[in-house]
Amino acid sequence: MEENAKLIRTCSIWRALEVVGDTSTILILEASWLGARKFDQFRARTGLRQSLLSDRLKRLVAAEVMVKVQYSSAPPRFEYRMTRKGQDLYWSSLMMLRWERRWAESDAKCVVELTHKKCGKQFDPTPTCTACGDEINARDMSWSPGPGVGWMSAQYSRRRQHRDSPSDRPPSSTLMDEVAQIMGDRWAGLVLRALFTGLRKFDEILSDSGMATNILSERLQWLISKGMIRTHEYSSVPKRHEYRLTGKGIDYYPVLLMLMQWGDKYYVAPEGPPLLLRHKRDAHDLRAIAACSECGGEVRPQDVEFKVIEPARAAIANSA
């Protein structure tokens, strides 16, 4: 490793974001959950340019999140299917959908109704602790370094950002927009990670993330503009401030939590996870699941039926 290489705290979130932390990739995963399999179906659902879509699909296949399967020999044609590794991203996707519903609703977007087959009811995905059955809230969490804690090189691939303009798809096909922008910016993910672990000052976040100062300044301002964080003055003489999560930012916690669990499963070091989470006063180990808001049961892809509602119908339903 080069002597001046930037280092960041070992993190399963960062390792996961290196695979899926790209807005275009998230739009492809969204399209797959909604039934897209063929290239043209992904193109229509995401609005991505053909070359960009082809590149991201290749990356997902290389990461073993998807597999390319030939379904016709004359002429040769292929489709893209989720692997087990890709299916394990389902809870992360549900938490993203949950956050988008709460904080970024728009009459111009389509919505999806989820029905849990096991209880037969429409439901909202709820982040739930398996040990106590309570809904997970960031304020109830504590953490400690795990056996895999350490420092790693911040090898940030220089691919073009599509954060502010994810695609050219029409609003009528848009399901997750704002959350895809936030998840699709890996540096912003490191800022949020730092804040969730109690690092609030600029220099603390800078040291933890390995960013250049100009990149960190830009990400902080962008997250402020998105309503995810706010500044708080903690000293008037001399004047100093720190960064704190807003309610909107705190509610993003389950998205990162599910992503961390996915990263722990597929990218953890031999020593073990770099971070251990505890829940509430008795400090039991946390294992989070996405549960049905109606029956409390664990939600799996095969247990869910969904119905996509177009924007005009969604607006009528929301006003009823």
Q: How many domains does the chain have?
A: 1
Distance (Å, rounded) from C-alpha 5 to C-alpha 10? Answer: 15
- Predicted pLDDT at 2: 40
**Is the residue at 109 inside a domain?**
yes
- Predicted pLDDT at 169: 62
List Cβ neighbours of 58 (8 Å cut-off, separation of 6 or more).
none
Enter the tokens of residue 245.
């999560």
**Is the residue at 172 inside a domain?**
yes
**Is the residue at 2 inside a domain?**
no
Write out the residue range of the structural domain in which residue 86 sits.
Answer: 7-319
pLDDT, tens digit (0-9, with 9 covering 90-100), for 111-134? 889 999 999 999 999 999 999 999
- Predicted pLDDT at 160: 41
**Is the residue at 1 inside a domain?**
no
pLDDT, tens digit (0-9, with 9 covering 90-100), for 265-288? 999 888 889 889 999 877 899 999
CB 32 within 8 A of CB 26: no
- Segment 140-159 shows an average pLDDT of 74
Q: What band does 11 get if pLDDT is binned at 50, 70 and 90?
A: confident
- Residue 240 reports pLDDT greater than 90: no
**Is the residue at 14 inside a domain?**
yes
**Is the residue at 298 inside a domain?**
yes
- Residue 164 reports pLDDT greater than 50: no
Distance (Å, rounded) from C-alpha 96 to C-alpha 82? Answer: 18
pLDDT, tens digit (0-9, with 9 covering 90-100), for 26-61? 999 999 998 999 999 999 888 899 999 999 999 999
Share of the chain above pLDDT 70, in %: 87
Distance (Å, rounded) from C-alpha 249 to C-alpha 46? Answer: 26
Share of the chain above pLDDT 90, in %: 58
